[in-house]
Chains A and B, each alone.
Chain A
Amino acid sequence: MANFRRFRPEDLNKLSKCNLDPLTETYELGFYLQYYAKWPSLFQVAEDQDGNIIGYIMGKLESSPDVYKFSEHYLPWHAHITAVTVAPEARRLGIGKMLTEQLEAAGDDGNAWFVDLFVRKTNYKAIKFYESMGYSVFRVVKDYYGEHSTDPTQDSEDAYDMRKPLKRDVKREHVREDGKNHEVEPTDVW
Chain B
Amino acid sequence: MSNYAYSPPPLKNSVDMQLQSAFSDGNWPTVVRLASKRFATFKDPYYEAIKICAESQLDGTAEKCAALVAIDELVKSKKTPDIDALELYEFACRDFLGYEVEYADGLGPLRARWVKANATSPLAVQCLQSCLMYWDLVSAQQIATTLDKTFANSPDRRYMFWSITLTFLLSISPQCTEASRKIYSMLTVRQLEKAADLTESSEKLEKTARGLLTEEEVCLYYKVLLSHGTKEEFLTRLQSPKLGAIAQLRQSRKLLFCEALDVLEKWGKWDHIYNLCREALNLGLEEVTTPFLVCDLRIWKKFASSASKATDNDAALAEVQKTLNKFIELKDKATPMYKKNISLALLETTFKLPSTTLNPNHDQSGLSPRVVQIGLYLDQYYERLAAFDDIKGYVADLSFEEIKSFMDDVLPKIPGENPENKNEIIIKAMECKLRYLLTTCPQTLSPQSSVIDGESQRKPYKCRFCSRPASSPCEFCLKKIVSDAADTYSKITADKELLAAIPGLDRDPRLDLAVAMGTALLKLAGLRPYSSDATHSLWEVIQPSLLFQAVLLLDNQLQITPNDNGLRLLLIQLYLLLGCASYAYQLWVPMGVKRTIQDALSPLFFDRISTIAPGLFQGTRPLMEPLRTYYSYTLQNPSPLRIWDAFSSGSYTSILDMTEYDKTLRTSCTLMMTLVEERRATRSFGGKIDIDIDDHPLTADIFDDTVLVNKTDYGSFPNLESVYGAPIQEYLRLGPGLSNERSHLHYYTEKYLDLLTYKVPQPYKPAKPADAAAREKAYTLEVLSHVSETLTTLLQSSQSIPLTPAEHTYFSILSLLSSAVSIALSTPRTDSHPPETLSLLTTSIKSAAGTLRTGFSTTSTEKIIGSLTELHSTALARDTGIAIKQSAAFVLAWNEKENARDRSGRSGLHKEVISEMKALEAAGVKVVGEVKAHFGKLKEGLSESGWLDRVLEVTFPEDGEDEAVRRVVKGGEEEEWAGRVVDSWRESVKGWVSVNWQ
Residues of A within 8 A of B (CB): 1-6, 8-10, 12-17, 19-22, 26-30, 32-34, 36-41, 46, 48-52, 88-90, 92-95, 97-98, 105
List B contacts of A6 (CB < 8 A): 254-255, 258
List A contacts of B340 (CB < 8 A): 1-2, 93
List A contacts of B393 (CB < 8 A): 49
Are A41's CB and B215's CB within 8 A?
Answer: yes
Contact of A27 among B216, B596, B643, B657 (CB under 8 A): B596
Chain B 635-662 interface mask (CB, 8 Å, partner A; 1/0):
0000011110110010101110110110
* B466 to A: closest C-beta gap in Å: 31
Q: Does B318 contact A (CB under 8 A)?
A: no
Contact of A93 among B215, B337, B711, B716 (CB under 8 A): B337
Chain B 222-259 interface mask (CB, 8 Å, partner A; 1/0):
00000000000000000000000000000010110010
- Nearest residue in A to B601 (C-beta to C-beta)? A16
Contact of A38 among B252, B651, B660 (CB under 8 A): B651
How many Å lie between the Cα of A162 and that of B646 in the bound state? 29
The listed residue with most A CB atoms (<10 A of its CB), out of B385, B594, B595, is B595
Contact of B657 among A8, A22, A89 (CB under 8 A): A8
- Nearest residue in B to A32 (C-beta to C-beta)? B596
A20 and B646 in contact, given A93-B337, A94-B337 (Cβ under 8 angstroms):
no
23 interchain pairs, CB-CB under 8 A? A1-B297, A5-B255, A9-B657, A10-B661, A10-B664, A10-B711, A12-B597, A12-B599, A13-B711, A15-B600, A16-B597, A16-B601, A16-B716, A20-B592, A20-B597, A20-B716, A29-B630, A33-B640, A33-B645, A37-B645, A41-B215, A49-B297, A89-B385
The listed residue with most B CB atoms (<10 A of its CB), out of A29, A51, A90, A93, is A29
Are A95's CB and B337's CB within 8 A?
Answer: yes
Which residues of B in the span 381-402 have a Cβ within 8 Å of any Cβ on A?
Answer: 384-386, 389-390, 393
* B598 to A: closest C-beta gap in Å: 9
Are B337's CB and A89's CB within 8 A?
Answer: no
How many Å lie between the Cα of A52 and that of B719 in the bound state? 14
Contact of B649 among A14, A28, A37, A52 (CB under 8 A): A37
Are A33's CB and B658's CB within 8 A?
Answer: yes
Which residues of B in the span 654-706 have a Cβ within 8 Å of any Cβ on A?
Answer: 654-655, 657-658, 660-661, 664-665
Q: Does B565 contact A (CB under 8 A)?
A: yes
- Nearest residue in B to A12 (C-beta to C-beta)? B596
Are A9's CB and B385's CB within 8 A?
Answer: no
* B413 to A: closest C-beta gap in Å: 24
How many Å lie between the Cα of A177 and that of B727 in the bound state? 54
Are A52's CB and B715's CB within 8 A?
Answer: yes
List A contacts of B600 (CB < 8 A): 12-16
Contact of B646 among A13, A30, A37 (CB under 8 A): A37
Q: Does B287 contact A (CB under 8 A)?
A: no
Contact of B595 among A28, A46, A88, A94 (CB under 8 A): A28
Which residues of B in the span 321-339 have a Cβ within 8 Å of any Cβ on A?
Answer: 335-337
**10 new A-B pairs (CB below 8 Å) besides A1-B337, A10-B711, A16-B716?**
A10-B657, A13-B599, A13-B713, A17-B715, A29-B634, A34-B645, A37-B642, A40-B651, A40-B653, A49-B390
Are A38's CB and B641's CB within 8 A?
Answer: no
Q: Residues of B within 8 Å of A, CB-based: how many?
A: 59
How many Å lie between the Cα of A63 and that of B384 in the bound state? 41
Which 3 pairs of residues, A with B, have the shortest CB-CB distance? Answer: A9-B661, A37-B646, A37-B645
List A contacts of B633 (CB < 8 A): 28
* B809 to A: closest C-beta gap in Å: 32
- Nearest residue in B to A109 (C-beta to C-beta)? B252
Are A33's CB and B297's CB within 8 A?
Answer: no
List B contacts of A14 (CB < 8 A): 600, 713, 715
Q: Does B173 contact A (CB under 8 A)?
A: no
List B contacts of A38 (CB < 8 A): 645-646, 649, 651
The listed residue with most A CB atoms (<10 A of its CB), out of B385, B601, B634, B641, is B641
Are B335's CB and A30's CB within 8 A?
Answer: no
Are A26's CB and B713's CB within 8 A?
Answer: no
Are B216's CB and A1's CB within 8 A?
Answer: no
Are B565's CB and A20's CB within 8 A?
Answer: yes
- Nearest residue in B to A88 (C-beta to C-beta)? B385
A22 and B592 in contact, given A1-B386, A40-B653 (Cβ under 8 angstroms):
yes
Are B336's CB and A93's CB within 8 A?
Answer: yes
Contact of B337 among A5, A12, A50, A98 (CB under 8 A): A98
List B contacts of A30 (CB < 8 A): 634, 641-642
Q: Does B296 contact A (CB under 8 A)?
A: yes
List A contacts of B646 (CB < 8 A): 36-38
How many Å lie between the Cα of A94 and that of B335 in the bound state? 6
A17 and B645 in contact, given A1-B337, A9-B661, A93-B335 (Cβ under 8 angstroms):
no
* B397 to A: closest C-beta gap in Å: 14
Q: Does B298 contact A (CB under 8 A)?
A: yes
* B847 to A: closest C-beta gap in Å: 42
Are A89's CB and B641's CB within 8 A?
Answer: no
Are A1's CB and B658's CB within 8 A?
Answer: no
- Nearest residue in B to A53 (C-beta to C-beta)? B715
Are A36's CB and B654's CB within 8 A?
Answer: yes
Q: Does B541 contact A (CB under 8 A)?
A: no
Q: Does B126 contact A (CB under 8 A)?
A: no
Are A16's CB and B715's CB within 8 A?
Answer: yes
List A contacts of B640 (CB < 8 A): 33
Are B255's CB and A39's CB within 8 A?
Answer: no
Q: Does B915 contact A (CB under 8 A)?
A: no
Q: Does B591 contact A (CB under 8 A)?
A: yes
Q: Does B563 contact A (CB under 8 A)?
A: yes
List B contacts of A15 (CB < 8 A): 596-597, 600, 713
Q: Does B341 contact A (CB under 8 A)?
A: yes
List B contacts of A22 (CB < 8 A): 563, 592
List B contacts of A10 (CB < 8 A): 657, 661, 664, 711
A2 and B592 in contact, given A38-B645, A38-B646 (Cβ under 8 angstroms):
no
* A101 to B: closest C-beta gap in Å: 9
* B37 to A: closest C-beta gap in Å: 40
* A26 to B: closest C-beta gap in Å: 5
Are B335's CB and A98's CB within 8 A?
Answer: yes
Are B341's CB and A2's CB within 8 A?
Answer: yes
How many Å lie between the Cα of A92 and that of B655 in the bound state? 35
List A contacts of B630 (CB < 8 A): 29
How many Å lie between the Cα of A28 and that of B633 in the bound state? 10
Are A36's CB and B658's CB within 8 A?
Answer: yes
How many Å lie between the Cα of A1 and that of B903 in the bound state? 79
* B721 to A: closest C-beta gap in Å: 13
Q: Does B344 contact A (CB under 8 A)?
A: yes
List A contacts of B385 (CB < 8 A): 88-89
The listed residue with most B CB atoms (<10 A of its CB), out of A22, A40, A97, is A40
Are B595's CB and A26's CB within 8 A?
Answer: yes
List B contacts of A92 (CB < 8 A): 336, 384, 506
List B contacts of A17 (CB < 8 A): 715-716
Are A33's CB and B713's CB within 8 A?
Answer: no
Chain B 543-565 interface mask (CB, 8 Å, partner A; 1/0):
00000000000000000000101
How many Å lie between the Cα of A32 and that of B658 in the bound state? 11
Are B654's CB and A37's CB within 8 A?
Answer: yes
Contact of B296 among A2, A19, A20, A33 (CB under 8 A): A2
How many Å lie between the Cα of A52 and that of B386 in the bound state? 13
How many Å lie between the Cα of A32 and that of B596 in the bound state? 9
How many Å lie between the Cα of A90 and that of B298 in the bound state? 17
A26 and B592 in contact, given A1-B344, A37-B645, A37-B654 (Cβ under 8 angstroms):
yes
List B contacts of A34 (CB < 8 A): 642, 645
Are A26's CB and B642's CB within 8 A?
Answer: no
Are B643's CB and A37's CB within 8 A?
Answer: yes
- Nearest residue in A to B643 (C-beta to C-beta)? A37
How many Å lie between the Cα of A90 and that of B506 in the bound state? 10
List B contacts of A105 (CB < 8 A): 252
Are A26's CB and B597's CB within 8 A?
Answer: yes
